[in-house]
Chain A
C-alpha cells in the first residue's frame, strides 16, 4: 500500500430516477480526505438528490457511492456513523430544549452515557448557546438554530461533514461565525462537502463541482474553472457558473417540504 489515503467520498456513475424523471444521470467524482468540496448548481439541478444518495437517504438507481470505502447502499450504518449532517431547514424538535435535542443525538450516535453530559455542555459552549440550553428551540432565531445544528452534527466527532445550503437565511455575522468555525475544523482534518447557491462562498473551497440537468458539467479548483471559462480576465465563479448553466430562470415545483413550510408559516397546526 502506498500512502495515498482512500478518498472520503467516491461517487461512480450515480444515477437516480424518480418514475420517468432522471434527477441525477451519471455523476462521478471523488473527494479526498481533508478536502473542502462544494457542489454548485441551479435549482432542480440534482444537488439535493446527489447529497441524499451520499448520505444514504436515497438509494441510487444505478452506480455507487463510497464513503471512506464503505458502500452507501450496502453498509449504510457505517457510513452514517462516519458523517455529520447540517440540513437546509434545521432538523430540530422545536418543542424540545437545545439540551434535549443534543441528548437525543447522543443516544442516536451511541455517545457513551458517562460522557454525554460533558459533550452536550461542550457543544452548547461551542455554539455559544450555553445560556439558553434550557430554552425550547422554538424560541431560537434562524442563526441560533443553525449554530445548534452544526454543534450537534459535530458532537459524535464525524470525519466528514455535509452542509446543505448552510448559510441560507443567515445574516452576515452568522455567516462569518459559521465560516470561522468550519475553517478551524478543517485545520483538524475534517472533510467538508457542501451544496450552495452562493458562489462567493464556493471561492474558498478546494474544489468545486458544477451540476446541471443531473450531470456534472465542470469540476476543479475555483481558479482552474475561471481560467477554463472564456468569461474574461476578472471572471468570478459566478460568471463561470452563468456561462455554464445559462441564464434561463429555474422554477421548481413546490415539493412536500416546501408545502409543509408554507403550511407552517400560515400558522401551522399543533403538530410542531
Chain B
C-alpha cells in the first residue's frame, strides 16, 4: 500500500511527522511553567547577581563589564538546560510514554528524530532569549540583523545540544532524576566554554585602584603581565585544552561576537562549529533513535 504511493507523498508524510513531533515538543513546553521559571531564575542569578556582584570586583574585560561579558554565556546556559531537558525526556518516553506508540507506527524514524531536534532547538531559542531581554539594562544595543544572526547561532547550538542529549538518552536505561544530567553534563559544558571567564585578554584592575607602575614592574618580573590598568589572562594549559576541545566554546564565541562584537577564537572554527557540527550530531542522533526500533 505505502510502497505504491508516489515519492512526493512520502516526503509530504515525512514532513507531517516532523511537524507533529515539533508541535508536541512545543505544546509540552507551553504547559510546563517550571521551565520558564528556571530560565528566568538562572538569568537573575547569573546575570544580575553574579554579573553585578563579581562585576564589582572586576572592572572590565577588554572594555566590557562583567555582566556584559557573561550575557552570551547565560544565553548558552539556558540553551543547555532547555535542550537537554527535552532530549533526556526520551528515556522516559521510551519506557512509559508516547515514544512506544511512535515506534510501532509506520512513521519514518529520521522524521521523528528531526521533529524532536527541531522542537528542542526551538524551545532552546525561546529559553535562550530570556536573558537577551536584559540587553537594554546592560548598556548594550543590538541591531535587528545582529539579533537574527544571534538567533540562528542559538538555534544551531540548540540542535547540537539536543542531538547530543538524544545520543546520551538513547543509551541510558534508567533515569533517576535530572540532577545527574545537570551536574554531569550541563555544568562542565557551561564552565568549560569560556562562558564566565575570558580565554585570554585583559581583565580590568581589581577594586577601585589602578595598578601603580612600580607594582606592575614587580609583577612583570614574576611573569604576570599587567597592561593598562589590568592583567593579561593566561589560563593554565590543562584548562585551555579542555576549553578548546569543547565545541560549545566556538559556538559561544560566535554568539558573543554577534552580541558584543568581542571574539577570542578563530572565526573559521566558530563557523564550522555552528554550521557543520549540528548536522553531524543530528545525523548520529537520528541513527541512534532508529536503533531503538530495531533492537
Report which A residues bind B (CB closer than 8 A): 55-59, 76-78, 80-81, 83, 85, 87, 89, 91-96, 100-101, 103-105, 107-110, 113, 136, 152, 256-257, 259-261, 263-264, 269-272
Binding site for A on B (CB under 8 A): 1-3, 13, 16-17, 19-21, 24, 27-28, 31-32, 34-35, 85, 88-89, 91-92, 95-107, 173-178, 293-295
Contacts of B19 in A (CB 8 A): 107
Query: Given the complex of chains A and B, what is the CA–CA distance between A83 and B21 in angstroms?
Result: 21
B98 x A55 contact (CB < 8 A) = no
**Per DSSP, are chain B's interface residues mostly helix, strand or loop, or mixed?**
helix
Alpha-carbon distance A257/B19, docked complex (angstroms):
28
Q: What are the residues of chain B within 8 A of A80 when measuring CB–CB?
A: 104-106
A100 nearest in chain B by CB position: B27
Interface-central residue, A91, A264, A272, by most chain B CB under 10 Å: A91
Contact indicator B102/A108 (Cβ below 8 Å):
yes
Contact of A56 among B16, B178, B293 (CB under 8 A): B293
Within the assembled complex, what's the spacing in Å between the Cα atoms of A136 and B88? Answer: 21
Which residue in A78, A93, A95, A261 is a CB contact (below 8 Å) of B2? A78
Given contacts A104-B98, A260-B174, A261-B96, contact A96 B28 (CB under 8 A): yes
Given contacts A91-B97, A269-B175, 6 further A-B contacts (CB under 8 A): A85-B101, A95-B27, A100-B24, A100-B27, A256-B173, A272-B89
Contact assessment for A270 and B104 in the assembled complex, using a CB-CB cutoff below 8 Å = no
Inter-chain contact B2/A108, CB cutoff 8 Å:
no
B174 and A95 within 8 A (CB): no
Report chain A residues within 8 Å CB of B98: 91-93, 101, 104
B15 (CB) vs chain A CBs: closest residue: A107
Q: Please tell me if the beta carbons of B178 and A103 are within 8 angstroms of each other in the complex.
A: no
Contacts of A87 in B (CB 8 A): 100-101
Contact indicator B99/A91 (Cβ below 8 Å): yes
**Subset of 27 A-B contacts with CB under 8 Å:** A59-B295, A76-B293, A78-B1, A81-B106, A83-B104, A85-B104, A91-B98, A93-B98, A95-B27, A95-B28, A95-B31, A104-B20, A104-B98, A107-B19, A108-B105, A108-B107, A109-B105, A136-B31, A256-B174, A260-B91, A260-B95, A263-B176, A270-B34, A270-B85, A271-B89, A272-B92, A272-B97
- B92, closest chain A residue (CB): A271
A127 to B92 CA separation, bound complex (whole angstroms): 26
Q: Which residues of A contact B107 (CB under 8 A)?
A: 107-109
Cα distance, A85 to B97, chains bound together (Å): 14
A272 to B177, CA, bound (A): 12
Contact call A108/B95, Cβ cutoff below 8 A: no
Residue of B with least CB distance to A153? B101
